[in-house]
Amino acid sequence: MKGLYSAVLASAIAGAFAAPSPVEQGPITARAAQAACATPVTLSGNPFASRSIYANKEYSKEVIAAAASMTDSALAAKASKVAQVGTFLWIDTSARISVVEENLKDVPCNQLAAFVIYDLPGRDCAAKASNGELAVGDISTYKSEYIDPIVAIFKKYPNTAIALVIEPDSLPNLVTNADKQACKDSASGYREGVAYALKQLNLPNIAMYIDAGHGGWLGWNDNLKPGAKELATVYKNAGSPKQVRGISTNVAGWNAWDLSPGEFSKATDAQWNKCQNEKIYVETFGPALKDAGMPAQAIIDTGRNAVTGLRKEWGDWCNVKGAGFGVRPTSSTGSSYADAFVWVKPGGESDGTSDTSATRYDSFCGKDDAFKPAPEAGTWNQAYFEDLVRNAKPSF
């Protein structure tokens, strides 16, 4: 990085952190941090209506480094702006808990910190790419060495608003992959673990969303009621925590919000799935959840869903080629069931490795519509990030 390009990139990065919009807030300066809430926060109603998502420091650092390594100055300028978009921070191991406090202490009162709780024993039971650190049955470690330490940190920050996505893919897997031995083995731990997390994290300043897959998963006609029952049962087993707001959908996914007809509406099996986009899904699954006795508001991950028509099948989930950053986080959704569009998956971090010899290799990451080469799940993929920037809608 030399000469004029260095100056262009420096200017772009400086601009990314200057005067952020109400929706897309950047990492907070010491001066802005002084605007933290003076009194304890109690969240009720839509937490995103009056607060934007804090741009966590971990993702911002990745993005800034990625932009700095680009040789195309125009693309680098666009890429640097991604650093100011509020994105959820994944706590996917016990070791990752070490960065939580650093991403809580500077959050101002008009923003909220956003995290993903993701470390269940036997995690990712229907795939391999995101298998976790805890073995099936190790629920005591999940409680004492993962959830409890997170709760302890959150309790130190009662004046900070926090939004949580709870255990992506876990309960949906118990609905549709109950025939897989790994999911059978993990089922009781998933249910007990999620219930424990909901109960312990039920603090006044926290809003929780239990993951509910997406329209191409629990949106199938035969999955709607069983899916609602599964989530609602765990919610009730946790004591129906007041701070559970509803569900998260399309996490790390690709589905369009309101594309009509849907991306797979012409598939031979489309007649058995009326939820051909995420809007139909949350507005169909929502009433089923209410009937089952659970809150039904939704947040939808739009981080990588800008481009449709890329997947050969609805279930293709790994590093889809040609994807682009989608609609920026906002509470303007046009649906009474949708609290906000959010970025849950940090765009640029891999979904899974394409290395067929790797222990965590999943065949979905080797499909024709999957980007290759790709590193292990959660690892930065520079080329893929650059494509997300190029294909972003709206553009940066």
Give me 27's structure tokens.
Answer: 């990492």
How many whole angstroms separate alpha carbon 211 and alpha carbon 192? Answer: 15
Identify the active-site residue in 316, 351, 362, 387: 351
Burial label for 202, CB within 10 Å (0-12, 13-18, 19+), is middle
Is position 217 annotated in a ligand binding site? yes
How many whole angstroms separate alpha carbon 38 and alpha carbon 114? Answer: 20
Is position 317 annotated in a ligand binding site? yes
Identify the active-site residue in 124, 211, 362, 387: 124
Q: Active-site residue 351, yes or no?
A: yes
Q: Active-site residue 355, yes or no?
A: no
Among 183, 164, 170, which residue's Cα sits nearest to residue 88? 164
Among 249, 183, 265, which residue's Cα sits nearest to residue 217? 249
Among 236, 159, 240, 243, which residue's Cα sits nearest to residue 206? 243
Is position 57 annotated in a ligand binding site? no
Give me 66's structure tokens.
Answer: 């990625």
Q: Active-site residue 185, yes or no?
A: no
Identify the active-site residue in 106, 119, 138, 169: 169
How many whole angstroms separate alpha carbon 301 and alpha carbon 314? Answer: 16
| CA distances to 190, 258, 324 from 262, in Å | 32, 8, 18
Is position 90 annotated in a ligand binding site? yes
Binding residues: 90, 92, 214, 217, 317, 345, 349
**Residue set of the binding site for substrate:** 90, 92, 214, 217, 317, 345, 349
Catalytic positions are 124, 169, 351
